[in-house]
Structure 1
Amino acid sequence: MAAAPLIPAYDFVAPPATGLSTASISHLSWVFLVVTSNNYAEALEFIPQNFGLFNFLIDASSLPADDASQIKALLNVGASKVITSLEQLELLRDPKLHIEDDRLILAIGKGNKTREDFENAIRNTSLGVFVPDVTDVGFVLGWLQQYGTENRPSVYISFKATPTLEEVLELMKVDASVVINSKDLTVDSGKEEGLLSVGEIYSSALKSDRSDGLFTTLVVDELGVALGLVYSSKESINESLKTGAGVYQSRKRGLWYKGATSGATQELVKIDMDCDGDCLRFTVRQKGKGFCHLETRTCFGVSSGLGALEATLKSRLGSAPEGSYTARLFKDPKLLRAKIMEEAEELCEATSKDDVAWEAADLLYFALTKCVSAGVGLADIERNLDAKSLKVVRRKGDAKGERTNEKKEQSTPTPSAPAPVSQKEESKDRIEMKRYFASEISPEELEAVLKRPSQKSSNMIMGIVNPIIKAVKEEGDKALLGYTQKFDRCPNLESTVLKAPYPEGLMTISPEVKAAIDLSYENIYKFHAAQKEAKPLEVETMPGVKCSRFARPVERVGLYIPGGTAVLPSTALMLGVPAMVAGCKTIVFASPPRPDGSITPEIVYIAHKVGAEAIVLAGGAQAVAALAYGTESVPKVDKILGPGNQFVTAAKMVVSNDTGATVSIDMPAGPSEVLVIADKTSNPAFVASDLLSQAEHGVDSQVVLIAVDMSKEMLQDIDDQLHAQAMALPRVDIVRGAIDHSVTVVVDSIERAFEVSNLYAPEHLILQIQDAKACVEKVQNAGSVFIGPWTPESVGDYSAGVNHSLPTYGYAKQYSGVNLATYVKHITSSELSAEGLQNLGNAVMDLAAVEGLDAHRMAVKIRLDHMKTSK
């Protein structure tokens, strides 16, 4: 939903007496509205009434900062993007509101917060920024030039006073979208001198690689169907905006007023440009017989599909042959209604791919006939679909009772994810998991219920990660320091690497914490040391043929320790101790620094204990890139391990696929998760505490309870414990976000419980069931298992000895958690005696001959011949 380079500001309550008309503004697609408490009610009417005519950029930063409901309502009625203050943004990011960052823009300076707060708000998001009421254009221009255009949020700028054309054009060069009052704009500068030319401003944002300077222009109708390819110039763009018609630049005849001689004119709907600014799209209402000189709708031949059907129906509405079926449908509303209902039922009953397609085509024909008879076209339908796609208020979506022949409370669940079973009515602040009964939903619906929280789109993530990796790879320490200062909010940081030996002052921790780290270190060391292979494997596969396998440590490892919403020295232990036990020669830590540039002392102490030669003071994709490629001060490593957010995971995947990096990774990783299997013997307080221990990691975490044959009373006890314990936690807001997409699934048996668990493949699996140890054999997919009521997941996170760096997001079906083998590679060897080669030689030569590899065959034959001649 990219915005236009020029966005007119429009007073929808008291439109300006002079300047642009509403229709002229709409040709630019976007319009800017300022919504305050005084005109809020009018805005809720104006936006849906004009949806499709405009994309709306709304400045709502003056609305109450302590209430998200008004901004949510503006988004729900069709606002494309809303500008907010920082305080409003913090409310709107509540996961329960279902508002994506790409619908929000942060107003710089709106809110009593520091610059760091604003920078933190837009880090690693698709959030744009709005710079309001600019008076010093030169200052803003310098700021944007210094920032650059790559990996930068979208920037929108408004002015305190009318800017000059030169100022606007300079801002366009650095890819800023400018907001200018519509009364200061004109589409006819010849008649309205002193106003800013819309065409000239818009054209200045375009790029052309043609020698004649023309811009490639795709002409489409309101359905998005390509009518033809033409060219535009600054002059033709100006003329199109002024006349509201399709005007282009002919390479032979100059300005080309489409349809001036043929009558196939075009009414201009809107102009927009592609993401690179080197191609225009003109959306038009085509008149006459069509766009092409061959009198077809398009230059690509005759029309087809729904657009062609709509055109046929419209022509038949006025001139259908008497007695034709279509004419009868138009004249007999009862017949048309009956056919729509009949075809809808037949579509519902269809099962095969061909039948579904056939019946859907019939239904669309009759439905479109109904639309055309009411004056509704496909463009109107698509506008309604677009408007609905912008809604942020979620409807329950149950079918009406008469459609299902069931009582309302027994409505069939929706295919994507069934509605949870209704639970005790509580206040809106209650923290409670959704509940489903496995016996009452289909396997497909169960899979939908267990779906993890959606992650940001891969395109969005890669668009951020790839430029960072490229910069660190090419610029080394300079880029690493710059990104760390920017993303980790350390403007005064001078170096991103801390080398061993580490000063004692950086390891100052309390005696209690030191003792806890030392105890955990010993247990983790014991468990991983026990995993060492006692001796190389050696097998004589046949007389004279010995095969062996021996282990060698990965020489250089980079260990990533997150530092986002929680400091994680435990991760430093879980990654560092096995690396030391395995005998890795070079161990490098990487962890984000604190705002003052220092590193958590617990992490420094652990780095000292495991013999890490350096700590990279950086996080995110920039730390991963530094470890993968090395910089002037960061040693290059052979393998990168450790959990992180989506950007860290994406960066690990990118560098592991780059042959220039020659680096591997431990596993893909996502947000933390736990699945608890509990039965009637479990303690509700224990169950709730285990669920919350993972929910507090982050709002994108997920927890799942598989309840085995529990009564409603016991299920309610667990819900009550969950809410009570959660409300006492300092990270309750994070917990609330995680619980919002967490579920309880009630099953009838232990066997069914493990089927569901193995389908989900949890990072942590907790067994609070009778005979828990005996049931471990039923576990097929899990990162780590915690057996019995006295084994909370927390002990695995810290001190028991098992590793807590585990596969998430379902990867437990393919990956193990970190263990000693993660830091070891195996090398095989073969040793043949003369007898062994004689026993094996003919088989090798025969297979080499089949594959046509004569040098392979000769390597054996030469040796066998030598044996014969030396006898």
Structure 2
Amino acid sequence: MFPFLALLDSEHVDEELLLAVSRVAPVIAPGSTPESTIRYLLVEDSTSTDCNQIITFLDNGADKAIVPLSLAKSLLGTVPAHRLLLLLDVANVSAVSDSVRNAVSGVLLKTSSSDGFGLDVDLVHSVSRFFVGAAVHVLAPDLPTPSIISKLANIGASVVIPFSKLTLCSTSQKMISVADAFLAPIVSDRSDGLFPTVISSDPHGKRSLGLVYSSRESVAESIRTGKGVYHSRKHGLWRKGETSGATQDVVRIRVDCDTDALEFSVVQHGAGFCHLNRASCFGDLDGLAALERTLASRLVDAPEGSYTRRLFNDEELLRAKIMEEADELCRAKTKEEVAFEAADLIYFTLARCVAAGVSVKDIERSLDKKAMKINRRPGNAKQQWIPKNEPQKTELSRVEAPRASTSSSKAPLDRNGPIQMRTVDISVVSPEDRAKLLKRPVLRSDEMIAKVKPIVDNVRARGDSALRELTAKFDKAQLDTPLLLPPFYPLAPEAQRLDPAVRDAIDAAYSNVYKFHAAQIDGAPLVVETMPGVTCTRFARPIARVGLYVPGGTAVLPSTALMLGVPAQVAGCEKIVIATPPRADGSISPEVLYVAHKVGAHAILRAGGAQAVAALAYGTETVPKVDKIFGPGNQWVTAAKMLVQNDTDALVSIDMPAGPSEVLVIADDTCNPAFVAADLLSQAEHGIDSQVVLVASSLPGTMLAEVEEEVDKQAHALGRVDIVRESVAKSLIVKTQGPETAMEFSNDYAPEHLILHMRDAPAWVDHVKNAGSVFVGPYSPESCGDYASGTNHTLPTNGYARQFSGVNTQSFQKHITSQEVTMDGLQTLGPIVATLADCEGLQAHANAVRIRLGM
């Protein structure tokens, strides 16, 4: 039982207060709340909300629904009792039948202010006897006192307090402190008034870390700050980790059944809770918690050549081991064999999770969410896992949203079967399932940012020394200096090895890209006379210093260097720094060197990953600090870019959020199936998380079958067939009735690349609302935009084409406005300005006008 619940009654909520409340009480709110919050949905009007909407809220994470009696009757037998509460006026309790009473887990009573709080306690007590064993909550008409909260708790009830009446400050006549409301029913049985407090580790399966004591003051401080604060019997208030660094983030504070002891669920940082530098005062971690900690440590510093390092570096090996151990577990017979094989499978599965930034807590959270679903799928096995003599029951046509992990988190692929996409007919899916089709993999940016932060901080603090160490660790290159200065070509030895055919191709691509981006330059100022004597101007200036991240190492990506370097050159940026990982011998690919020469780069930073981003953001002894960072990269690069752009000390911006590469192809009966398949595969080969969608616009079944046959045939001829097999298995064919529906789905999806294999394709470009770049007609493959047509290939992914443009010349410019007001102009404009300044109470603003006009 919670001492109180908080009723979220405002759209403008103090987030700090909401976080504090979420640590000690449920929140009644259908909207967004902190992830750890227990959320109740309050439905006051049965006419505006139906049963399906309530079930959807419960499926999407609401813990309980509070509903009127009329709705409760409709939900009986569909929603489990522990997920339902009744909303009742005190006068209507007798109208509740036994069937309804037994089908809910509690009641929320609405009382009127005329009753008076002193009388309500007895009334609530009688209601609680009617709802035997159920939770009883009271919606208070007036501000409850700690005494009232305590009395209600003594009869097993709690009070609902409007959020607007809660505060983190001291209790007043108008507001009650969150700490006072929480502590109201708690009574210490000790002479010193302290509360025994059990500390448990939230990420490690509620493992006990130790026993401490709390005072009312320390509990209030923990609620307010979200940090572990306790009471030392020797020294008074004790802020855990203040000197040792082993701090705690408090997730939840709970009262025991006798209301005389507390439990703090915390995320422990540093060496551990115990003063002996162990995780727990009761011994070190074991079981899954110990394995997770070991694997997380190995991910960072496992020695080269070790088996664990091989697993993290070789996705194919790890995938094969998971498939192997899953098969052996299925074949195990005895109890000992099952335990042995399950242990092996768990080891490799957890290695896969740690590599993807997924913790045991994340898995538990996912299990909890699945357990809360009201609507369930049949759970039938996929066709490739069903023995041929056992027919499969028909699966419900529910659509699964994409996941951030790769196919190793799902059933293993049939390596010998056809390479084929999933098919959905948009005309028969529900609105909810259609929304899932638009979703991309969930990117756990917060977890990745936590991983890259130590790297960023290391480079920021130690500069070139850290860069050299990290480059040796991640790229296996020993560098005397991380920075290369011009000339890059033709004097650099690497540049001498450039294939003439490649050089000519780069020259041609450079010419096209330069021509298109030069046409985008914002040159002449915009000058507008808004009224006589008032002239407003807008003019462009280049961003002075830019950093261009070009993925490299074993790969050769001169196209990215072109797509970023050319617009920077056209815009007139004063300093262009290209960052790219070196090869093992410390050299840079001759192709990238040649592009650096062509675009007039001022330096090349031989570093990759988060360390390169940090060097560009903060600068080092040799690396110049930049003002904006551009370029694609893996999740480490993306997380580092997100981290530094939010650091006001860095004063650096980035081009756009990044995600896996995407293509959406719209094809009708005029398409060439071989061309369509080739376009799909050109994106599928980027990586196993590539997002590939074919929208079939009234495409005949025979032609759709031809496309699928071509996908399978062409994929098997590719060198990256294993990558393509996985990405295609997660790819989608969406069948639509006509081009209008097809284009509507595309605009909702907002793809990075949109390819139109349609009748009169140029006419449909006017219908495109959201896309990174559009490829029109059968002879405009996406590859042309990637390399040499002239448009830029650095484009928004993950649906960000709704808000972002691809990189262009103006991405490297900023716009400044100016205004010139004459004396005559100020005579007209001045009184307007002074009036508005007076309206806002800014007298100095008004005075700046009046002193000129003698007003």
Q: TM-score, normalised by structure 2?
A: 0.55
Q: 2:406 aligned with 1:412, yes or no?
A: no
**Of 766, 776, 780, which residue of structure 2 is paired with 1:791?**
780
Shift in Å at residue 823 of structure 1?
0.6
Identity of matched residues, %: 57
Distance between the aligned counterparts of 1:226 and 1:487, measured in 2? 35
Distance between the aligned counterparts of 2:618 and 2:725, measured in 1? 40
Q: 2:746 aligned with 1:757, yes or no?
A: yes
Q: Per the alignment, do residues 428 and 506 of structure 1 end up closer, same or farther by CA in structure 2, a change over 3 Å counting?
A: closer
Q: Per the alignment, do residues 417 and 849 of structure 1 end up closer, same or farther by CA in structure 2, a change over 3 Å counting?
A: closer
**Of 379, 383, 394, which residue of structure 2 is paired with 1:397?**
379
Shift in Å at residue 597 of structure 1?
1.3
Q: 2:817 aligned with 1:828, yes or no?
A: yes
**Of 441, 445, 460, which residue of structure 2 is paired with 1:453?**
441
Residue 844 of structure 1 aligns to a residue whose secondary structure is: helix
Q: 2:519 aligned with 1:530, yes or no?
A: yes
Q: Which amino acid aligns with 2:637?
A: V
Q: 2:640 aligned with 1:659, yes or no?
A: no
Shift in Å at residue 737 of structure 1?
2.3
The residue number in structure 2 matching 1:433 is 421
Shift in Å at residue 415 of structure 1?
6.2
**Of 463, 480, 494, which residue of structure 2 is paired with 1:494?**
480
**Of 215, 218, 222, which residue of structure 1 is paired with 2:199?**
218
Q: 2:755 aligned with 1:766, yes or no?
A: yes
Instruction: Please list the CA deviations of residues 498-517 of structure 1 after superposition, one character each: whole Å capped at 9, or x if unmatched.
Output: 11112342213111101100
CA RMSD of aligned residues (A): 3.6
Residue 573 of structure 2 aligns to a residue whose secondary structure is: coil
The residue number in structure 2 matching 1:718 is 707
Residue 706 of structure 1 aligns to a residue whose secondary structure is: strand
Q: How does 1:201-600 map to 2 (within 5 A)?
A: 217-218=198-199, 230-231=211-212, 274=268, 276=270, 277-278=272-273, 397-398=379-380, 411-414=395-398, 416=400, 428-455=416-443, 457-490=444-477, 492-502=478-488, 503-508=491-496, 509-563=498-552, 566-600=555-589
Shift in Å at residue 413 of structure 1?
2.5
Residue 803 of structure 1 aligns to a residue whose secondary structure is: coil
Distance between the aligned counterparts of 1:217 and 1:653, measured in 2? 37
Q: 2:828 aligned with 1:845, yes or no?
A: no
Shift in Å at residue 218 of structure 1?
3.3
The residue number in structure 2 matching 1:296 is none
Distance between the aligned counterparts of 2:414 and 2:459, measured in 1? 52
Distance between the aligned counterparts of 1:725 and 1:776, measured in 2? 29
The residue number in structure 1 matching 2:34 is none
Distance between the aligned counterparts of 2:514 and 2:770, measured in 1? 25
Q: Per the alignment, do residues 454 and 428 of structure 1 end up closer, same or farther by CA in structure 2, a change over 3 Å counting?
A: farther
Distance between the aligned counterparts of 1:816 and 1:570, measured in 2? 19
Q: Which amino acid aligns with 1:439?
A: S
Q: Per the alignment, do residues 484 and 220 of structure 1 end up closer, same or farther by CA in structure 2, a change over 3 Å counting?
A: closer
Retained in 2: the 8 A contact 1:579–1:823? Answer: yes
Distance between the aligned counterparts of 1:817 and 1:711, measured in 2? 34
Retained in 2: the 8 A contact 1:219–1:281? Answer: no
Shift in Å at residue 427 of structure 1?
7.3
Instruction: Please list the CA deviations of residues 783-841 of structure 1 after superposition, one character each: whole Å capped at 9, or x if unmatched.
Output: 00000000000000111100001001111010000011101111111001110000101
Distance between the aligned counterparts of 1:384 and 1:786, measured in 2? 39
Q: Per the alignment, do residues 596 and 860 of structure 1 end up closer, same or farther by CA in structure 2, a change over 3 Å counting?
A: same
Retained in 2: the 8 A contact 1:488–1:595? Answer: yes
Q: Per the alignment, do residues 547 and 558 of structure 1 end up closer, same or farther by CA in structure 2, a change over 3 Å counting?
A: same
Q: Per the alignment, do residues 625 and 417 of structure 1 end up closer, same or farther by CA in structure 2, a change over 3 Å counting?
A: closer
Q: Per the alignment, do residues 484 and 810 of structure 1 end up closer, same or farther by CA in structure 2, a change over 3 Å counting?
A: same
Q: Which amino acid aligns with 1:581?
A: V
Structure 1's unaligned 5+ residue stretches are: 1-214, 233-249, 253-263, 265-270, 284-381, 400-406, 420-424
Retained in 2: the 8 A contact 1:528–1:820? Answer: yes
Q: Which amino acid aligns with 2:798?
A: Y
Q: Which amino acid aligns with 1:702?
A: Q
Q: Per the alignment, do residues 226 and 429 of structure 1 end up closer, same or farther by CA in structure 2, a change over 3 Å counting?
A: closer
Q: Which amino acid aligns with 1:414?
A: R
Distance between the aligned counterparts of 1:383 and 1:546, measured in 2? 59
Q: Per the alignment, do residues 282 and 416 of structure 1 end up closer, same or farther by CA in structure 2, a change over 3 Å counting?
A: farther
Worse overlay, 601-610 or 503-512: 503-512
Instruction: Please list the CA deviations of residues 677-734 of structure 1 after superposition, one character each: whole Å capped at 9, or x if unmatched.
Output: 0111101100010011111111121111101112222111111111111111111122
Shift in Å at residue 536 of structure 1?
0.7
Retained in 1: the 8 A contact 2:549–2:578? Answer: yes
Number of matched pairs: 503
Q: Per the alignment, do residues 220 and 769 of structure 1 end up closer, same or farther by CA in structure 2, a change over 3 Å counting?
A: closer
Q: Which amino acid aligns with 1:397?
A: G
The residue number in structure 2 matching 1:18 is none
Retained in 2: the 8 A contact 1:453–1:702? Answer: no
Retained in 2: the 8 A contact 1:433–1:742? Answer: yes
The residue number in structure 1 matching 2:98 is none
The residue number in structure 1 matching 2:670 is 681
Retained in 2: the 8 A contact 1:398–1:414? Answer: no
Retained in 2: the 8 A contact 1:684–1:718? Answer: yes
Retained in 2: the 8 A contact 1:216–1:278? Answer: no
Distance between the aligned counterparts of 2:462 and 2:402, measured in 1? 51
Residue 723 of structure 1 aligns to a residue whose secondary structure is: helix
Distance between the aligned counterparts of 2:518 and 2:629, measured in 1? 21
Residue 835 of structure 2 aligns to a residue whose secondary structure is: helix
The residue number in structure 2 matching 1:610 is 599
Q: 2:616 aligned with 1:631, yes or no?
A: no
Instruction: Please list the CA deviations of residues 326-372 of structure 1 after superposition, one character each: whole Å capped at 9, or x if unmatched.
Output: xxxxxxxxxxxxxxxxxxxxxxxxxxxxxxxxxxxxxxxxxxxxxxx
Retained in 1: the 8 A contact 2:273–2:281? Answer: no
